[in-house]
Amino acid sequence: MSVEALSALGLSIRVAVVATLLDALIGIPLAYLLARRAFRGRALVDLLVTLPLVLPPTVTGYYLIILLGRRGWLGAPVYALSGWSVAFTWYAAVIAATVMALPLLVRTARAAIESVDRELEKAALTLGRSEWRTALEVTLPLARNGIVAGLVLAFARALGEFGATLMLAGNIPGKTTTVPLAIYTAVQTGEMGEAVALVLALTALSCVVLILAGRLGARAA
Amino acid sequence: MSRGLRITVLGFLVLCPPAVAGAQEMTLSVAISMKEAVETLGRQFMQSRSGVTLRYNFGSSGELQKQIEAGAPVDLFISAAQRQMDELEQKGLITTATRRVFARNVLTVIKAAGSTLDIAKPADLAGAKVQRIVVGNPKTVPVGQYAEESLKSVGLWDPLQPKLVLAENVRQALDYVARGEVEAGFVYTTDVAARSRQVVEAFRPAEDTYRPVTYPAAVVKASKQPALAQAFIDLLVSRDGQAALSRLGFQPPPAGVRR
Amino acid sequence: MKHRFSVQITKRLPGFTLDVSWTAGDGVAVLFGPSGAGKTLTLQCLAGLVEPDAGRVVVDDRVLFDAEAGVNLPPQQRRVGYVFQGYALFPHLTVAGNVGFGLRGRSRQERERRVVEVLERLDLAGLAHRRPAELSGGQRQRVALGRALAIDPALLLLDEPLSALDSPLRRALRDELRSILSGWGTAAVLVTHDFTEAYRLADRIIVYENGRVIQAAARAELLWQPASEAVARIMGLRNVLHGVVVKAMPDRIQIAWRGHTLEAVNSPTRSYLPPPETPIAFFIRPEYVRLIRKDRSAPDAAHHMNLMRGTVVGEADFGTVWSLRLRLDTPGTPAQGDFDLEVEVPHLVYEILEIERDRRWEFSIHRGSIHVLPT
């Protein structure tokens, strides 16, 4: 495997791991709120989180450019203040993967949280727990299998992200060229050996993730 | 076959219904820098031939080359560099006798219209204020190959590596500069007109630092409309065709160069 | 130990309004009534899981809720133990983990000591490391009780604690629950729709119907003096009948019914004096109707009051007793469809009297066994 291919593989794993961690940080509390709290704008939040699942990745990528590009709503003030822009950096690949993978985690975790018997939460409240402690000690541990499954799906999605990443992060070898982009370029340039190596590497990695997830699930059950 | 290619080929099959008797249809795979020129001449072509429909497939020359190699049903290929055409010829995928160079272009470096950066010569690209430079991916995008040659000849290709952002075709490079995502980019002089309100030329690299940008056209061997494709090549090199290309900023092919 | 608590709650839900007010003290107060009467909702309001629209809840001088004063303690500050209908044991924790769950904030040593103490008192010591899924129904009930009692609650709430169990186990556990509740001495409120259960477990019974309290009384008082026909029906009392007042006196009352004039004892505590011709409801317990043996001397009015004659028109064997349906000889429409009175006789009596063969009977009802239901 070439240096470029190895770097793409390393980058893909790094991007997917960081994106999954970010998803966990954002997605688990979000899933809890959507499952257990009635708040203003809940339907809107639900819609926004789910959209990347149904929209073509390029549409999500386009929105991300409008938001985070150097002249974007958020990107412009950041660039004006710091002279730095997230587009075409590996952070952009992380953001694209995070947004694209988030709905998979939120939906799976939310369903798992909703299936936890509410009486158990009420019991914890009567036994002196705040809602926050109840979520940590009762709801989330009981929804663990679903949350782990959601994280695995999110990781797999982040690993395979292509469209939105290409739009926001570009295809810069060594910086933003993740494995899916490297495979695309390799095929475009007729480097079939490289493409096959990367295809096999990504397939193997995905299998390892699924097997590990299966083990985790079995231990949790 | 990659997902992208397979979908492209499938797209061709879906979008090109079997030819109806009497109606003629021709697919042109065209280097995207030739977009406006080919569309203009295409309208003229269709007007003078009733029942003829042209379908365009724009992209980087390298991308279009790979599609033809993968068996895309294309009649005519117009490339922005000789290399892609050479490779197809070696593989026997074009009709060698039909190959003609019909235009020439010039490399230029652009910046955003409002940019206050002082970029007047290649060395200015190394300045700290220039954080990112977009070039076409040299592997598939001719404008990237020319930029690479030019920068190598002035010894800047390697030092500029960390700043380089690769575009999938020349119009994407143009778009990155127009959107302000990058400070500078390598495109053709003819491209600037497409986004003349958002980008301006900064400087033109010396023309002796890169091979001449010539556009060859050739009939694809698998074409079902070789005569029609040949007629389009004839139009490109005709007086009318050359006049139209000239109006859009293209130069005539170098003297004595036919293919 | 002297407990005292008062409950006054109004809660409007779509299509249902709970509006109740009652008090209780030491021992077990049972909220009894049909499903959907608002019993569980009351418990949830007491525990702070549901906020009432109006009212006041005071337990041992501690105000848990007061709409006017703007007091509404969250559940975690109420010190109210709650035993849920399905027990709601934490499936991911052991028995010890469940029982110790409410003891956060105490030192580890103290927590462990308390858990051991509770497990021993409830005869669960050997099961400390089991998970709820590995326990029998009775053990689960005890763990749920232990978990709620471990925190020394000021008030213990039990929502249909026996409904998750099969009926033989149910009887055994009903008695076990009774002894645990009296042993721990914690004031408790228990919800049930089963009158036997209510009667066995209660010191005081509060009868709910459709979001309201229709009677609150000590259990013996309720059994013998249901306050109304509605209470009698919810209690499942049989032979609830309608007659007309002939004459009402402080100690007795005469009622015209099915061509007879029945004599009944008037309620000594709530002496009820309706004018003659007033419609009146009353009930006769089936087990208090006396069939008169034919092999003895003729009945004498001093021992046999409210003497009537009838025919057995239906019967059912309930294992230890026979339930007979009697139609009176007097003309007119029978009071309960095709019969007038349900009478219950033990198997032995059924056999001795050869009721299977002999269907015509004379019977009497002591005036103390005819209970007037004020309207």
Min Cα distance C82 → chain A (Å) is 7
Q: Could you tell me if C62 and C210 lie in one domain?
A: yes
Does the pTM exceed 0.95? no
Whether the per-residue pLDDT at C264 is higher than 80: the answer is: yes
Domains of chain C: total: 3
pLDDT of residue B9: 54
What ipTM was predicted for this assembly? 0.82
Residue at C269: amino acid letter = T
Q: Using CA atoms of A178, A182, A183, A187 in order, give the dihedral in degrees to the nearest 10.
A: 160
Residue in A with minimal Cα distance to B162: A175
Q: Could you tell me if C52 and C122 lie in one domain?
A: yes
Q: Could you tell me if C203 and C242 lie in one domain?
A: no
Long-range CB contacts (within 8 A, 24+) of C300-305: C303/C364, C304/C364, C305/C263, C305/C364, C305/C365, C305/C366, C305/C367
One DSSP character per residue, C219-249 reads HHHHHH--SSHHHHHHTT-S-EEEEEEEEE-
pLDDT of residue B7: 53
pLDDT of residue C323: 94
Residue C59 sits in a domain whose CATH number is: 3.40.50.300
Residues C210, C211, C213, C219: is their CA dihedral positive or negative? positive
Residue C332 sits in a domain whose CATH number is: 2.40.50.100
Contacts of residue A65, defined as CB under 8 A and 6 or more positions apart, other chains included, come to: A72, A87, A167, A168, B179
Which residue is associated with the tokens 């409950």?
Answer: C7
Q: Which two tokens stand for residue A9?
A: 């593989």
Whether the per-residue pLDDT at A88 is higher than 90: the answer is: no
Q: Could you tell me if C351 and C248 lie in one domain?
A: no
Domains of chain A: total: 1
- β-strands C80-83, C155-159 pairing: parallel
Q: Could you tell me if C81 and C175 lie in one domain?
A: yes
Residue A111 sits in a domain whose CATH number is: 1.10.3720.10
State the average pLDDT over residues B137-143: 93
Q: Could you tell me if C247 and C327 lie in one domain?
A: no
- Supply the range of the domain harboring residue C138: 4-227
As a whole number of angstroms, the distance between CA C152 and CA B39 comes to 86
Assign B18 a pLDDT band (cuts: 50, 70, 90).
Answer: very low
Whether the per-residue pLDDT at C328 is higher than 80: the answer is: yes
- Identify the domain boundary among C266, C284, C302: C284
Whether the per-residue pLDDT at B39 is higher than 90: the answer is: yes
pLDDT of residue B6: 58
Nearest to C49 among A120, A125, A142 (CB): A125
State whether B4 and A184 contact (CB < 8 Å): yes
State whether B137 and A70 contact (CB < 8 Å): no
Min Cα distance A28 → chain B (Å) is 33
State the average pLDDT over residues C241-268: 89
Which residues from B are below 8 Å from A when comparing CB atoms? 1-5, 62-63, 66, 69, 131-132, 137, 139-140, 164-168, 179-182
State whether C78 and A126 contact (CB < 8 Å): yes
In a domain, C18, yes or no: yes
In a domain, C126, yes or no: yes
Residue in A with minimal Cα distance to C46: A126
Contact between A176 and A89 (Cβ < 8 Å): yes
State the average pLDDT over residues C334-352: 92
As a whole number of angstroms, the distance between CA B26 and CA B165 comes to 35
Percent residues over pLDDT 90 in chain C = 65
Of A82-86, A116-120, A156-160, B199-203, least confident by mean pLDDT is A82-86
Residue in C with minimal Cα distance to A121: C88
Residue in C with minimal Cα distance to A117: C88
> Is A81 at the interface with chain C, CB within 8 A?
no
pLDDT of residue A178: 93
State the average pLDDT over residues C290-310: 81
Phi, psi angles (nearest 5°) of residue C261:
-110, 110
Q: Could you tell me if C62 and C47 lie in one domain?
A: yes
Whether the per-residue pLDDT at A180 is higher than 90: the answer is: yes
pLDDT of residue C301: 67
Q: Could you tell me if C84 and C161 lie in one domain?
A: yes
In a domain, C373, yes or no: no
Which chain A residues contact residue B113 at CB under 8 A?
Answer: none
> Is A119 at the interface with chain C, CB within 8 A?
yes
Per DSSP, helices labelled H in C1-121 are 39-47, 95-99, 108-121
State whether C151 and A127 contact (CB < 8 Å): yes
Strands of B133-136's sheet in order across: B164-167, B133-136, B184-188, B107-112, B199-203
- Identify the domain boundary among C211, C227, C243: C227
pLDDT of residue B21: 45
pLDDT of residue A135: 95
Assign B19 a pLDDT band (cuts: 50, 70, 90).
Answer: very low
In a domain, C133, yes or no: yes
In a domain, C302, yes or no: yes
In a domain, C372, yes or no: no
State the average pLDDT over residues A14-31: 97
In a domain, C334, yes or no: yes
Helix (H/G/I), strand (E/B), else coil: B30: strand
Of B27-36, C244-253, C267-276, least confident by mean pLDDT is C267-276
Assign C132 a pLDDT band (cuts: 50, 70, 90).
Answer: very high
Q: Could you tell me if C305 and C218 lie in one domain?
A: no
For chain A, percent helix, then strand, then coil, each to nearest 5? 80, 0, 20
Residue A48 DSSP one-character state: H
- Identify the domain boundary among C227, C244, C276: C227
Q: Tens digit of pLDDT for each residue in B222-256? A: 999 999 999 999 999 999 999 999 999 999 998 88
**Of C235, C259, C263, C227, nearest in space to C248 by CA:** C263
Angle, helix B82-90 to helix B142-153, in steps of 10 degrees: 120
Q: Could you tell me if C67 and C162 lie in one domain?
A: yes
Query: What is the rounded average pLDDT for all residues in chain B?
Result: 90
Whether the per-residue pLDDT at C268 is higher than 70: the answer is: no
All domains of chain B, ordered by start, with CATH?
A: 3-104+213-247 (3.40.190.10), 107-203 (3.40.190.10)
Percent residues over pLDDT 90 in chain A = 69
Residue C240 sits in a domain whose CATH number is: 2.30.30
In a domain, C131, yes or no: yes
pLDDT of residue A217: 64
Query: What is the rounded average pLDDT for all residues in chain C?
Result: 90
- β-strands C240-248, C28-32 pairing: unpaired
- Supply the range of the domain harboring residue A125: 3-220
Q: Could you tell me if C161 and C144 lie in one domain?
A: yes
- β-strands C279-284, C370-373 pairing: antiparallel
Q: Could you tell me if C84 and C210 lie in one domain?
A: yes
State the average pLDDT over residues A115-123: 95
State the average pLDDT over residues C33-54: 94
pLDDT of residue B20: 45
Assign B107 a pLDDT band (cuts: 50, 70, 90).
Answer: very high
CB pairs under 8 A between A and C: 61
State the average pLDDT over residues A1-9: 87
